[in-house]
Amino acid sequence: MATLFATKPVDQLVADTKDEANQLRRAVGLLDLTALGIGAIIGTGIFVILGEAIGDAGPAITLSFILAGVTCAFSALSYAELASSIPVSGSAYTYAYATMGELVAWIIGWDLIIEYGLSVAAVAVGWGQYFNELLDSLFGLELPKALANPPGESGGQFNLPAVFLVLAITALLIVGVRESARANAVMVFVKLAIVVFFIVMAFTGFDSSNLSPFNPEGVDGVVTAASVIFFAYIGFDAISTSGEEVENPGRNLPIAIIASLAICTALYILVSITATAAVPFDRINGQEAPLAFVMQELGFDWAGNIISFGALVAITSVVLTILYGQTRIMFAMCRDGLLPRGFAKISEKRRTPVRITATFGVLIAIFASFVPLAEIAKLVNIGTLFAFVITNIGVIVLRRTRPDLERGFRVPFSPVFPAIGAILAIYLMTYLERDTWIRFGIWLLIGVVIYFAYGRSHSLLGRGKVINPEADL
């Protein structure tokens, strides 16, 4: 029973990363890392989910973005401290292993697998919608709705563009982390420029009367919308999954996490204000491509095409960064023996986990082709919020158990700020639908069964083995 809550020493976690046979390449600098965070955050959340959530809050959706951003800010500080203290792949999974024990680590790792996987699937679904709209606008062509829309929405049956995107990004990630980071940096620059372009163009149609009534559904509407658009902030935690591939992680990881979240929050607020002031919110409600719709309503059809192109670039960047993060979490779990260790074998030439990347790429492509966007987003949100709770608690625990540990960044006012972060995350979780909780519970139950059937008996920590990745591959 004691092994269920045995923690893995931080020194051992760091030592595992130095084994040459299973070592990832440190090739990601501060600029690339910040771009990774921005690339993961700005995507479907603003280009698609805005249309899904605006009906709950109306123009007060701006407050929903602020609430979700504040919730993330407290958790981001905790991620920054743990990332600088434990610069290892795995994110919240690794942090839980070091602070709360193997069983909790397994549960959060299992949670992150579905969180990241469904995130990729959801944004890929949104990519297909923008792709078809741009194809129709520029060339008068479009894919049949059955092949371009999510199943269950507008006649969709099989989302072909989503499958293409996921498989293409999978191939890029297999090539190498340096190449992937460079490609992502270019995409981030393009989409930031286009988001700023939207803000400027939408401001030309600013009409204050569209902001009244500002909060038609009251506090419940704002919080409900925040629990949905929280999806728009998912991604900054992906930075922490790259701990083993970052140059000077103690310094660069905290800066990149906080900077990327701050930049994206500011842009989200400006986008939501200008969009709802330019076009009445009830007309934006339900739009699959809300920002392009706003441009078209203002008479800027050409600008709508630019926004659609920007959405394609933005969503591509998100797929790259989130899929990257998922493979690194799985890599850490396999290296610890909780899942088959041979699955984590690193390519000698490319220094990437090819088997994990290819497997997840194929599975997510299949999932993205058949599952509706709205249901994916809700399940992703609950998984992310749960990870935030564990990470915030992890800071408090590690401060008590390892006060001597070198930390490149320290959360101010601990344990108050981490506690606030955990409480806010739990608060938003309470606003998610009952069916979402049921699906989440079923997924965790499946994970617990797998842990006791395989992970517990194969865990290197539980077997008291010194980690030597080369021995079992």
CA–CA separation, 256 and 248 (whole Å): 12
The DSSP 8-state label assigned to residue 232 in this structure reads: G
Which residue type is seen at 1?
A: M
Respond yes or no on whether the N-terminal peptide bond of residue 161 is cis (omega within 30° of 0).
Answer: no
Give the domain extent around 66. Answer: 2-472
| Cβ count near 218 (within 10 Å) | 10
Number of domains observed in the structure of the chain = 1
Q: Cα separation of 226 and 61, whole Å?
A: 8
Six-digit token string for 195: 């988001």
Residue 20 and residue 85 in contact, taking contact as beta carbons nearer than 8 Å? no
**pLDDT for the residue numbered 359:** 92
Q: What is the pLDDT of residue 280?
A: 92
Residues 6+ apart with CB under 8 A from 105: 8, 93, 94, 96, 97
Q: What is the CATH number of the domain that holds 13?
A: 1.20.1740.10
E strand segments, 346-428: none
Q: With beta carbons less than 8 A apart as the criterion, state whether 226 and 268 touch.
A: no
Distance CA 409, CA 250 (A): 8
Q: What is the pLDDT of residue 1?
A: 55
DSSP 427-461: HHHTTS-HHHHHHHHHHHHHHHHHIIIIIHHH-TT
Distance CA 227, CA 224 (A): 5
Side-chain half-sphere of 64: how many Cα atoms within 13 Å? 36
Please tell me the distance from the alpha carbon of residue 440 to that of residue 112, in angstroms, as a whole number: 12
Output DSSP code: residue 258.
Answer: H
Between the alpha carbon of residue 104 and those of residues 155, 180, 202, 235, 405, the distances in Å are 42, 31, 46, 22, 22
Tokens 């944004």 belong to residue: 123
Contact 164, 356 (CB under 8 A): no
Tokens coding 58:
């109306």
d(C-alpha 116, C-alpha 319), whole Å: 10
The Cβ-side half-sphere exposure at 94, using a 13 Å CA radius, reads 33
Q: What is the pLDDT of residue 472?
A: 39
Digit-by-digit pLDDT tens for the chain (473 residues) are 556 777 877 777 767 666 555 556 666 678 888 888 888 788 766 776 787 788 888 899 999 989 888 888 898 899 889 888 887 777 788 888 888 889 999 999 998 888 788 778 877 877 777 787 788 778 877 777 777 666 665 666 777 888 889 999 999 888 877 778 788 888 889 989 989 999 999 999 999 999 988 888 888 889 888 877 776 777 777 787 776 777 777 788 888 888 988 898 899 899 999 999 999 998 988 887 788 889 989 988 888 888 888 888 888 888 888 888 888 888 889 988 899 988 878 877 777 888 999 999 998 888 877 766 555 656 677 888 888 899 999 999 999 988 888 888 899 998 999 999 999 889 888 877 888 888 889 989 999 999 999 988 888 887 665 444 333 33
